[in-house]
Structure 1
Amino acid sequence: MEHGVGVNISDDVSPYGGKSVFTQMEHNIVAGYLITAGVISLSSNIVVLLVFVKYKELRTATNFIIINLAFTDVGVAGIGYPMSAASDLHGSWKFGYTGCQIYAALNIFFGMASIGLLTVVAIDRFLTICRADIRQKITMQSYNLLILAAWLNAVFWSLMPVVGWAGYAPDPTGATCTINWRKNDASFISYTMAVIAVNFVLPLSVMFYCYYNVSVTMRRHQADSHSITALDWSDQKDVTKMSILMIVMFLVAWSPYSFVCLWASFGNPKNIPAAMAIIAPLFAKSSTFYNPCIYVLANKKFRRAIIGLIQCQTRQRITISTQVPLTTSRQPLT
């Protein structure tokens, strides 16, 4: 079969171990990207986790959400990247039916968990900046319940294709597994629409509402130079900027994949360009390594903590409690 942009994706691609619409050279290029991105993602997210391990003062309610986000990235980088890269080097999916189900379910699981946790981050920003009266009454247990809800939601949607609502199968590249969008039956369409509604439209609506109100409140504060507040607004600006960047980049990463699913639902999946079939999941996987970059670039105080860790500085040389708090929350996790 010829390959390239605009090529029709045929049904004759064997589900497991069959021929791919890409050449081995193209598979090798993808494998090289996955290996490089996996190493960067795994190492950077481990550094993020080590920062929280070293500096106990950073283990606040809000930062606990960031810790959970780092675990989702480590999960994809440590499990998804190696399996996909090995299959690309092999030229086709090499882990069989069971491996395909596990791989695809884990990728959906970590992706859904990420969007859920980002929604919790948005809610936290809204309560901290706009409704401090409510925020002061919220306990760590409430945060734990929100985080648990994000994980349980991810478990539900990742398991549904395993038990028969839609399904998992190798994509047209033959070297990775995902939702079987080539079989656009009623089961696939209903699952796709439900996922997009619950894990895309609804979270984005909540995020838009939260960050719109956050931006209005912060502008009002900046205009009122005589306002008195206990918040460190310089720190809150950094944290909010970091949170918004994470959400924007999440959209950049997952929008191509969502577009492919919508195309498969309402159009002919055979007409989806082969190039898009590989670009969409690669974009989705990229969500694992940009969050640590955002932490460093958008939050100068977190940047100090990273530098302190890398340079093996002690608490005597870098006082986290006064120089690098990521939030105003002082609720410990222990």
Structure 2
Amino acid sequence: MATMENLYRNPTSSITYHHDTYPYISPSKFAGSLKNKVVLITGAGRGIGRATALAFAAAGGSVACMARTRSDVEAVAKEIEQNRHSRSIAIVGNVTDPEAPSRVLKEVETNLGPVDILINNAGISRISDIEHEKDMLKAWDVIDVNMRGTLAFIHAVLPSMILRKSGCIINVVSVLATISLPYFSAYSSAKAALIRATHIMDMEFRPHGIYSYAVHPCMCADSTLGQGALNVEAHEKVDGVKQFMKDFVPSMKDTLALPADTFVALAADPEAKHMSGKYLDSSQDLGEVLREAKKGPEGRIEKEGLYTLKVDTL
């Protein structure tokens, strides 16, 4: 099997690809640009979520960090308060808890104010073929966290954003939703559904001044998404799963700063609105993508229906 880079990168693309942060999304460019903005980040305790929380704090945002593990999320909030000199609170919760959205929003509004930017980062994965998936609840859990939990938090922040005619929603998705790979049926399906939902919600939200994006974060070895995701039985019994894992690991080359700084740029850069409702890949140079997006109906993005999830037919 080829590396992930060869599988999902368009070999004829003219867009520059990155493995680390780069000038267009540089933290120095957006330092202080989100002052007085309130940011809610789910899955903020580790990995991409933690890096994202620190990046938004560096941009001046007041950050509400939510995660399931108290020690993790409290450590992030403390680091923000001490080193980024921004306001931050830690909230313990699970996005699939039906009570969580209203409870979390109340806590954020009481302590920081209404949410201006929502980063739906909480997610879990599962690596298994269907045959050896003995407990299908594990697959349903993946769909619950990645799709149902995300929609619940979008629904919760929407009334306030509509009232203020302003808001930014970033849904963390995956390139695995755009290509066909075995052993990720639940995860890829959930992320594909979220990309499609983002396309549709943009039609509803943009008239209210709310901009939304579905963003593939990165291929990063420091991400905690894959921890506990592998079905050990499938790995032992299916040669394809063993080979997949052997080929997959070398593809994890990106830094956590790449998605974190991309998210900040999407929230802070007025030009980003040209890609609202679209799928974005953090490893693609955002400045180059936006230059094409600004061409509107005359540009390739609109003419060819790029950065949208679709099925091409005859």
TM more than 0.5: no
Structure index of larger Rg? 1
Higher relative contact order structure (alpha carbons within 8 Å, sequence separation ≥ 6): 1
TM-score, normalised with respect to structure 1: 0.29
* Structure with more strand by fraction: 2
